[in-house]
Amino acid sequence: MKSAMLYGAKDLRIVDLPEPSAPGPGQVRVRFGAGGICGSDLSYFAKFKVGDFAVREPMILGHEVAGEVAETGAGVTRVKAGDRVAVNPNQPCRVCRTCVAGRGNLCMKMNFFGSAAVHPHIQGVFRESLVVPEELCHKVPGSTDFRVAAMAEPLAVTMHAVNRAGPLIGRHVLITGCGPIGALTLMVARRAGAATVTVTDLADGALERARALGADATVNSASEAERVTSWAENKGTFDVAFECSGSMAGMHTAILSTASGGRVVQVGMMGDTPVPINRLMSREVDFIGAFRFDAEYAWAVRDLAAGAIDVSPLLTHSFPMAEAGAAFAVAADRAVSMKVHLTL
């Protein structure tokens, strides 16, 4: 089976791997339909690491996937051959102390596709065939585009981030960074009742898309820097900020622009970096992390299948897996692309 495997920085190869063995009891074999290229895949590709997770052996990339059930093992009841499914890449153990406390996204023994967080690495989903436990398969209607179903993963990330923010109804929201995660956060924040949503980015193309998706204001943090700095005046402007750029500048903007008593949710991933602690402390701004998702995956699939959240404006490009190199180049160019998918 064809797979997109990373051997080093910028060294992505299409390799032919043996077909996986037939699904065992409770397992499902899924034929690849579409897989989204995520910011973390781009980071692995460019730097051979993401945040603190360095790649130590060849790794198949990808964790945002949907496909068609090809075969089911004994005892599988929720899906059958021919069904379209979105596949949840999160496999928490459900028995460790964080799982038992109801926070499966923070599982201490998490298996997550296409991740170098543990060693040996968990191989990713950019491959023709995948054998997974039944409970990871979420059925969608046969009419659902595989690319839309694959968006359940990033959508779940943003639903979790909005959950971490607390009630948004009537609140003024800032989103720093408008890649796919920022754009989805915008849609989810709207759905959660935010009064206004302001979006910053460095790329005018991304801001244009944010306006089309319903942002109240968009600001280019490079060319309109004085507008960004003005948000820090009078003890801050926004009730809640979502930092979705994974950049130090974005994080500083989010913290300085949040009003006293407000909350900043760090969604983007970056290396360790200085934080303006005095501004957090003296204005009682809550600075909290949001990492992956748990129950939100099922909610995301439901909203996508029902059309309650329309992600189609975000789906800018798709490439056959054999052209994964070109797909990664386009995905890395934020001036032209939003979400890029691989298909078979």
Please give the residue ranges that form the binding site for Zn ion (CB under 5 A).
38, 64, 92-93, 96, 99, 107, 154
Of 16, 59, 64, nearest in space to 343 by CA: 64
Q: CA-based angle 192:194:199, to the nearest 5?
A: 115
Which C-beta is closer to Zn ion: that of 88 or that of 257? 88
Q: At its nearest, how many Å lie between Zn ion and the CB of residue 122?
A: 14
In the complex with Zn ion, the residue whose CB is nearer, 115 or 144, is: 115
Taking the complex as a whole, how short is the minimal distance between the CB of residue 242 and Zn ion, in angstroms? Answer: 16
Q: Which is nearer to Zn ion, 220 or 247 (CB)?
A: 247
DSSP state for residue 150 in the 8-state scheme: H
Rounded least distance, CB 265 to Zn ion, Å: 17
214: left (phi over 0), alpha (psi -120 to 50) or beta: left
To Zn ion, the closest distance from the beta carbon of 181 in angstroms equals 8
HSE (side-chain half, CA atoms, 13 Å) at 332: 14
Minimum CB–partner distance for residue 184 and Zn ion (Å): 10
The residue type of 184 is L
Closest contact distance (angstroms) between CB of 186 and Zn ion is: 17
CB of 71 to Zn ion, least distance (A): 26
Residues 6+ apart with CB under 8 A from 28: 69, 71, 72, 73, 76, 79, 85, 131, 132, 133, 134, 137
**Pairwise CA distance, residues 282 & 280, whole Å:** 6
SS3 242: strand
CA distance 80 to 69: 6
Specify the residue, 92 or 250, whose C-beta has the smaller distance to Zn ion: 92
Give CA–CA dist 259/237, Å, rounded: 5
| Residue 63 and residue 124 in contact, taking contact as beta carbons nearer than 8 Å | yes
Over the Cα atoms of the chain, what is R_g? Answer: 20
Q: Which is nearer to Zn ion, 35 or 154 (CB)?
A: 154
Per DSSP (E only), the strands in 37-161 are 49-50, 53-54, 59-60, 64-72, 84-87, 90-91, 111-112, 129-133, 137-140
Which residue, 38 or 311, is less far from Zn ion as judged by CB? 38
Contact in structure between 8 and 317 (CB atoms under 8 Å): no
Nearer to Zn ion, 179 or 262 (CB): 179
What is the smallest separation between the CB atom of 263 and Zn ion, expressed in angstroms? 23
Query: Smaller CB distance to Zn ion: residue 76 or 331?
Result: 331
In one letter, which amino acid is 229?
T
Longest CA span, the chain: 63
